[in-house]
């Protein structure tokens, strides 16, 4: 293992110190916690997300005006504890309630639900929405049902804009329950991720292999294959996506190409170009697109492809609204 770290057990603490210092104009850390909050908590419904670390810039990179008010950072690939989540809820609450945006992993759901119950006992109105956008496999290593992956960032963006606009907690819940089923993601890995305290990759692929459907913690995918071209990879992923969302010429889509940690932007843009060309051949209109490392898996090589069918003009408006965050 070759990593630019000190002690493997101190990575989270030292990362949070560095992240907070370099971005202190936008965010701050609640003392004695791993909770990152916006410097200015607006008078609106507070949005809180989080999960295990190792997916940077998610989720702390999306704290700020127009997205999240707080992000709770667990240990690497480990859910944050209920007491930490509770601190995030309290910090994000301006009196209009708090919406928790949680990826579909058993530990995350259990701990966020526990924090929600405690906050409600303290008379904070809290709702929780679970994102399960990964179509690759069901009932994976840490998940009942589908996993929550990079599409979660689009939920942050759209709900964040709606909250800033003044929508109530109940209105945001309705929006989330319309939005989340329209988001679909699939990933491909060229190499595994190495958790510092483990010291070796979570899985191994041969030099000429890739794996479709791998999760952001290295959960198994659905197919190992010999290495393919970018165009062939896109063809396989769009075929899978088309089985769950109609790629027809009367549809408009937002497209997110997300790097998993070790894939250069050069390759991500090649990949996006193939996505755009293949969707163009189907006469599908791409009305919003984004490329970059938004939800990584430490140092995994690979990408994920997220399609969001735009079912409301408001969704597109919310995606295009400017925000003040570290990573969007």
**Residues known to be catalytic:** 55, 217
Query: Strands 35-38 and 70-76, how do they pair?
Result: antiparallel
Query: Strands 183-189 and 302-309, how do they pair?
Result: antiparallel
Q: Judge whether 26 and 125 are in contact, CB under 8 Å.
A: no
d(CA 62, CA 76): 18
Q: How many CA atoms lie within 13 A of 309 on its CB side?
A: 17
d(CA 205, CA 71): 33
d(CA 285, CA 236): 20
CA angle 303, 314, 67 (to 5 degrees): 55
Q: Comparing C-alpha atoms, which of 182, 187, 290, 316 is closest to residue 244? A: 182
- 43, with CB counted inside 10 A (0-12, 13-18, 19+), is exposed
- 166, with CB counted inside 10 A (0-12, 13-18, 19+), is exposed
Q: Comparing C-alpha atoms, which of 26, 285, 3 is closest to residue 15? A: 3
The secondary structure of the chain in percent helix, strand, coil, rounded to multiples of 5, reads 35, 25, 40
148-157 burial: b if 16+ Cβ within 10 Å, else e: bbbbbbbbbb
């Amino acid at each position: 293992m070759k990593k630019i770290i000190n002690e493997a057990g101190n990575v989270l603490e030292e990362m949070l110190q560095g992240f907070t210092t370099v971005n202190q104009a936008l965010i701050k850390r609640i003392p004695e916690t791993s909770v990152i909050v916006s410097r200015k908590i607006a008078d609106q419904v507070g949005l809180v997300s989080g999960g295990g670390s190792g997916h940077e810039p998610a989720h702390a990179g999306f704290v700020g005006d127009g997205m999240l008010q707080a992000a709770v950072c667990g240990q690497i690939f480990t859910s944050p504890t209920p007491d930490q989540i509770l601190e995030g809820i309290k910090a994000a609450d301006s009196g209009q309630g708090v919406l928790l945006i949680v990826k579909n992993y058993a530990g995350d759901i259990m701990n966020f639900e526990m924090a929600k119950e405690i906050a409600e006992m303290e008379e904070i109105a809290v709702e929780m929405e679970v994102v399960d956008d990964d179509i690759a496999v069901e009932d994976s290593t840490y998940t009942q049902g589908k996993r929550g992956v990079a599409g979660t960032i689009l939920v942050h963006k759209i709900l964040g804009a709606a909250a800033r606009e003044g929508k109530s907690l109940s209105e945001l819940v309705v929006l989330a329950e319309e939005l989340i089923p329209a988001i679909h993601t699939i990933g491909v890995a060229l190499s595994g991720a190495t958790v510092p305290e483990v010291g070796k990759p979570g899985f191994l692929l041969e030099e000429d292999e890739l794996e479709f459907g791998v999760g952001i913690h290295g959960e198994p995918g659905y197919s190992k294959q010999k290495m393919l071209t970018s165009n062939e990879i896109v063809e396989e992923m769009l075929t899978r996506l088309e089985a769950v969302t109609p790629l027809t010429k009367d549809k408009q889509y937002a497209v997110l190409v997300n790097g998993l940690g070790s894939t250069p932007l050069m390759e991500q843009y090649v990949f996006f170009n193939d996505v755009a060309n293949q969707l163009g051949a189907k006469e599908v209109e791409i009305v919003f697109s984004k490329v970059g490392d938004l939800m990584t898996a430490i140092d995994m090589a690979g990408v994920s492809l997220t399609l969001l069918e735009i079912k409301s003009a408001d969704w597109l408006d919310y995606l295009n609204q400017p925000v003040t965050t570290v990573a969007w």
